[in-house]
Amino acid sequence: MADNNDGSEADPVLVTHEGNVRILTLNRPDRRNAINRAMRKAIKRELWKADADDDVRVVVISGAGTAFSSGVDLPEALTGPPPRTEGTTPTQVLRAIGKPVIAAVNGPCYTGAFELAVNCSFIIASEQAVFADTHASIGLLNGWGGSAMLPRTVGLPAAIQIILSGDPIDAATALRIGLANEVVPHEQLMERSLAIAGSIAASHPAAVQRMLRLLKEGAGASVAHALGLEAEASAAWRSDGKDVGDRFGKRSAKQSPDV
């Protein structure tokens, strides 16, 4: 795994690589990876860089130490300009980029970090992961898309309970309600997340990006409109028959049992 920086704790986001997968690690472990101004700026910068880099096909976000993130650094936010004055939010960038982003949630994932994870393409959770959205309980409102994205992930009744109560949700519950795609033993979190990322990275990059956009655009649309989007995309898509055949052969060989 290659490093893109010197690994100093002064770096709010550490950047490493595993093949065509870029790994972003929130790096304030002494503050449970609370998202301060420097980290917000770094997250946005690194996401845009990953989106522009043809060698990067998937991004994985996780946290250093025992937490994914405790959320926005509230003491900093309350004593200076609020995050909303900083322009584009990290979650707006997540929704805008064309490459899949996996949240590998390794521990507590609260409030602003919860919104960050919900805006990723999907979540793989450690059995030690805990999720909570405490905005309403402390007198704040969602500002990073949580109220829009969470109902589309877990359904409206579950989203209402999660957001209005502020009560924590363990990994097993997150899996049951569809917040997390998978829950794995803590020590296997990055291995499993990178395995999934590797499968995506091995797929046709242009097809992955076009399908990701199609899924995002169709998610909030009616079935009729989503089918129309698919038909338009399919009509405009130009495939390479030889490449399709080669990829099909490789995938079939990989999936066929040994005889």
pLDDT computed for residue 239 by the predictor? 75
pLDDT at 246 over 80: no
pLDDT computed for residue 61 by the predictor? 98
* Bigger pLDDT: 157 vs 75: 157
pLDDT computed for residue 255 by the predictor? 67
With cut-offs at 50, 70 and 90, classify the pLDDT of residue 6.
very low
pLDDT at 91 over 50: yes
Q: What is the mean pLDDT of residues 223-243?
A: 85
**Fold (topology level) of 2-202:** 2-enoyl-CoA Hydratase; Chain A, domain 1 (3.90.226)
Q: What is the mean pLDDT of residues 218-238?
A: 91
pLDDT at 29 over 90: yes
pLDDT computed for residue 251 by the predictor? 66
pTM for the structure as a whole = 0.91
pLDDT at 9 over 90: no
Mean of per-residue pLDDT scores for the chain: 91
CA dihedral 207, 208, 213, 218 (to 10 degrees): 90
With cut-offs at 50, 70 and 90, classify the pLDDT of residue 5.
low
pLDDT at 180 over 80: yes
Burial class (CB in 10 A: 0-12, 13-18, 19+), 81: exposed
Q: Which tokens go with 26? A: 């929130």
Three-state secondary structure of the chain: CEECCCCCCCCCEEEEEECCEEEEEECCHHHCCCECHHHHHHHHHHHHHHHHCCCCCEEEEEECCCCCECCECHHHHHHCCCHHHHCCCHHHHHHHCCCCEEEEECCEEECHHHHHHHCCCEEEEECCCEEECCHHHHCCCCCCCHHHHHHHHHCHHHHHHHHHHCCCEEHHHHHHHCCCCEEECHHHHHHHHHHHHHHHHHCCHHHHHHHHHHHHHHHCCCHHHHHHHHHHHHHHCCCCHHHHHHHHHHHHHHHCCCC
With cut-offs at 50, 70 and 90, classify the pLDDT of residue 210.
very high
